[in-house]
Structure 1
Amino acid sequence: MDKQGDKLKAIVSTGVKIDGSLTMAEHIPWLRWMFPLKEEAFTKNGDRRDRLSKAIMEEHTLARQNSGGAEQHFVDALLTLQDRYDLDHSISEDTIIGLLWDMITACTDTTTITVEWAMAELIKNPRVQQKAQEELDRVIGFERVLTESDFSNLPYLQSVAKEGLRSHPPTPLMLPHRANANVKIGGYDIPKGSNVHVNVWAIARDRKVWKDPLEFRPERFFEEDVDMKGHNFRLLPFGAGRRVCPGAPLVINLVTSMLGHLLHHFTWTPPEGVKPEDMDMSENPGLVTYMRTPIQAAAIPRLPSQLYKHVAVDI
């Protein structure tokens, strides 16, 4: 990556770590004195984020001016809205920066985390990997690559993606919600104004909710129809209600596409000398669940050599 890419990666990584450490202070305000260094680091990282965002916005402004106003990027669309319709100054520079970082932090990390966990499970469970590849071979064959129009004919691949989101939800406690009224849930009184977290990680491991919850078994979604867009509270990777993740359809398609390409193009095995059952599947605590030990695997090509040449850039 270039220097700007390195900065972006560092800001996102630092932001996720700091946000998680400040959660206690949000819930118990009188403990804020225990986190002075974290708050200072949070402010410092926010300043770095804003400087990088403004530099990117300036680059896009110059590019639009030089190209006659062509709109080819999310940044350009926001800047164009600001120029054309911001009569009441509601689309401020801070608003654009906030929207940009919502997109980056809410979509990028969670999608890659989901794919990494799913791939780890597929490497650990060769039976599931082989079954997904047999479906891909049957539907797509060996003369072309996967496209989005194939998804509807790949129910097992879709179930693999769904099982990945169930067994390893990228945001284990979801985002905090605030009770707008006094309510009673499960025998507990939740006062109005309380911050509430839903432990979807624990739900995914509850034997009262799921049969054999620790087993990575996509077939469970053929045995019963479970919606994951907020209608079935057993599976809530994107939340529910008015604050359900607006990017859910995009994430589902991205995860399905990434897994499909990886499985269709390659057979995946643990590194030499490592048995599948010995893979480290432990988690790092935080707002998102990274693998404690980043996945390592050997990729064995499965398709004709010419299909590996269709890439956007040289790699």
Structure 2
Amino acid sequence: MERIEFVKIGAVLVLLAGALAVALTAGARGGPAQAVTAPAVPLELGAAQILGALAFAGAGGAQNLVQSNWIRDKGLGMGARMPKLVSPVTGRPEAAPATGYRFPPDEPNLARWRGWWRVANTEQLVSFVLITVVTITVMSMLAHATVFGREVANDVTFLHVEGEVLNRRTGWFGTFFWIIGAYSLFAAALGILDYMGRLVSDSLKVTYLAASTRWSESALYVAVVWALIAIGGVVLLAGFDQPLALLIVSAVVGGFMMFLYSGLLVILNRRALPREIGLRGYRLVVMGLIFLFFAFFAALTIIDRIRGL
């Protein structure tokens, strides 16, 4: 999985460089300035699409919750002292739940915590915020330069039109655009399977199966991943195979999930963690605003669906 994502990152960097070098017109380069000076919310899309766009535009979804699992399995920081998720075929899975360890909040431990926290903040700023802003900006400019103002269908076929325009301009970049897009979606699907398997198996092992010596977290991970693949196959075989509809459903579920876990994270930080490392100050205010933000769009989506019945 890590190698697949590594290749994806390299390919996307090439795509971004090519988009900036050969695909964008002078008018498209004015897009970011127009977005800042004349912002507008596309209310004609409907509440579900707006919530889905917010969830898919870098907000994170369940991926925010799996960061600690990835850190643990890479052996970074405190993860070096916790049981790892390993392949039941090639490794030796540990039956113990990865419940972690609550350190005494004395000055030496807090100094280590602050050092790790600085690294975690820097990593999120670079790999999450910065890359998200750059990629969304460039891809939006690319779409503006190729399909803006054209009569295109309100579905994913606009990507075909975008690629054809790029091919006419460069002779090869459109085909490269399609290849990278397909590979990125494939890698994203694998990533979703991975982090859902990690989250569900971790939760089951820590709560309901903590005393089980038969069900390790690794075995649970394999079972969850194959169950998700089977469910996806059933959905497609049932005839529900429209890409845009499936994307909207997935994104809306992600938005609802972010609404729920934002509130739960505030409660967890205030009640379960030591005061020295829990949320406080402006971070607590921001988390409260995030909770209200997604609560508003979740409620708006429900009302919109009820009215459409």
Place the TM-score, normalised by the shorter chain, in its bin: under 0.3
- Between 1 and 2, higher relative CO (CA 8 Å, sep ≥ 6) is seen in 2
Query: TM-score of the superposition, structure 1-length normalised?
Result: 0.24
